[in-house]
Structure 1
Amino acid sequence: MSSVTKAARAAVAALAGGLLLSTVLTVAASADPPPIDGASCSSSQLGQKVWSYSGPQINIKPVITDQVAINIAPGTTGTRTDTLTEVETVTRAVTNSVGVEVSASAEAGVIFAKVSTSVKATYNYTVVTTGSKSTSKTTAVTWNFNQPGYYGLYRGVQQVSGYDQYTECIRYPYPSVPIGWKVRTLNFNMFTSPEEGTILCTGPATTLPDIFITKIRDLARKRLGDC
């Protein structure tokens, strides 16, 4: 067994809570593309799954999950506790191409391992692998303000979404090709560790569309609005 395959198996065991694999899971090398959809395979290969060598296709965008705006008037600075209001949640899930959730499967474990590694290496973010939501309730936060002003308190995450594919050797329901390779597409939605902070309103908010905003704090500043 190659070192790549061993690493994939170890990651699946760690992220899927020791889920037993009933089929062979392999990660194809970059020089060896997975079999073509519809190509024939042998009975000894039934159940084998070869993951896309190109890796998961990933899109990352900032999401504000909790926020509150507060005004600190002159003479009222100091320590205070404010409750952030939940404005959006990001739910983690892995689904197949027809929308059926497969988050508890071995395939989902492989996706978590591959996405976590890719996001860490490319963006230096850590993907959260426990729980189902980025946030689930309002939270009280204590801050020390030493200057008056209009502030925004926020918490947010980077939403990690996209898809990955593997090719599986299956038995077709029609007799012309009794055994063959079939491409499976799995869509995923995950999120990174939360960022928490405060924004001081110092002028007009950005007019950039959200699609061009990459930092959580910049999105929080836009949500705060004009001063």
Structure 2
Amino acid sequence: MSRFPRIARAGAATLVAGVLLSVSLVNSAQADPYPIDGAPCSASQIGQKVWGFNGPTINLKPVVTDQIAINIAPGTTGTRTDTLTEVETVTRAVTNSVGVEVTASAEAGAIFAKVSASVKASYNYSVVTTGSKSTSHTTTMSWSFNQPGYYGLYRGVQEVSGLDSYTECQRYPYPSVPIGWKSHTLYFSAFTSPEEGTILCTGPATTLPDLFITKIRDLARKRLGDC
């Protein structure tokens, strides 16, 4: 009952409200029914946890974490090394339904393991497992430009966020239940390995709202602005 359910397959990527990519893991059939919140359990089951059968719900959102604009004039092409400006930071954490951080707990470790497997299987992204932030104040990039133009150097990640849930057999979960099952919801945020690159300003920037942009480079091009 307390072990993690085996992952059977990954659901197809879809658009949630036309905005965020989302996927859920579907677990294999279980011999025992999923415990209902508030239902009684036995003293021998205290501490046992059963994770939600549908697995974590995951949203992906592109985030430009660092960027700089560069104007390459005719006759000035060549290799440049620039320090990018920090634009946004994505943090890695898990909190419970009342806002208490549980990043160092076993529950957090279980969630990150499942999230990493889901994102890898569904999107072929790797979720970063070290460090709590997606960026730093000392990001530098070197690029060679062989044509004049207005460029942007960028660095970004896909923000991974969502929720997972489990029920645990506890003492006095509710006034009327001396030993019973209590539901817990955990909210998580993480991020994928960074993408670095250049973009060239070739015309008007997209007018799409940020929430409809799914690629980091497209978001960076919008941030660069009109030519």
Q: TM-score, normalised by structure 2?
A: 0.86
Partner of 1:208: 208
**Bigger helix share:** 1
* Identical pairs, percent: 81
Q: Does 1:54 align with 2:71?
A: no
> In structure 2, do the counterparts of structure 1 residues 176 and 131 end up closer, same or farther at CA, with 3 Å as the change threshold?
same
- Unmatched segments (≥5 aa) in structure 2: 8-25
Name the count of aligned residue pairs.
Answer: 208
Deviations 1:126-173 (A, max 9, x none): 000101100121322111000000000000000000100000000116
Q: 2:86 corresponds to which residue?
A: 86
1:39 aligns to what SS in structure 2? coil
The aligned runs of 1:92-107 (5 Å cut-off) are 92-107=92-107
Q: Does the CA-based 8 Å contact 1:28-1:50 persist in structure 2? A: no
| CA positional deviation for 1:5 | 4.5
- Supply the RMSD in Å over aligned alpha carbons: 2.1
Distance change in 2, residues 1:77/1:28 (3 Å): closer
Q: Call closer, same or farther: CA 1:60–1:167 in 2, change over 3 Å.
A: same
CA–CA distance in structure 2, aligned partners of residues 33 and 226 of structure 1: 57
Deviating runs (4+, > 6 A) in structure 1?
none
Seen in structure 2, the aligned counterparts of structure 1 residues 114 and 172 have a Cα distance that, compared at 3 Å, is same
Matching residue's letter, 1:186? L
CA deviations 1:88-133 (Å, max 9, x no partner) are 1111000001111000000001001110001111111100010110
Q: 1 CA distance for matches of 2:136 and 2:35?
A: 42
Which residue identity is paired with 2:149?
Answer: G
Cα distance, 1:80 vs structure 2:
1.3
Q: What corresponds to 2:154 in structure 1? A: 154
Residue identity matched to 1:114: K
More strand by share: 2
Matched position secondary structure for 2:177: coil
- Give the match for residue 14 of structure 1: none
> Which secondary structure does the structure 1 equivalent of 2:116 belong to?
helix
CA distance in 2: counterparts of 1:224 and 1:118, whole angstroms? 32
Give the Å deviation of 1:34. 2.2
> Aligned pair in 2 of structure 1 residues 87, 33: CA closer, same or farther (>3 Å)?
farther
Query: Could you tell me how far apart the structure 2 residues matched to 1:47 and 1:222 are?
Result: 50
The residue that corresponds to 2:36 in the other structure is 36
Q: Which runs of 5+ in 1 are unaligned?
A: 9-26
Partner SS state of residue 208, structure 1: coil
Q: After superposing the two structures, state which structure 1 stretch, 194-203 or 135-144, moved more.
A: 135-144
* Kept in 2: contact 1:89–1:134 (CA 8 A): yes
* Matching residue of 2:15: none
Secondary structure of the structure 1 residue equivalent to 2:71: strand
Q: CA deviation at 1:30?
A: 4.0
Tell me what 1:110 maps to: 110
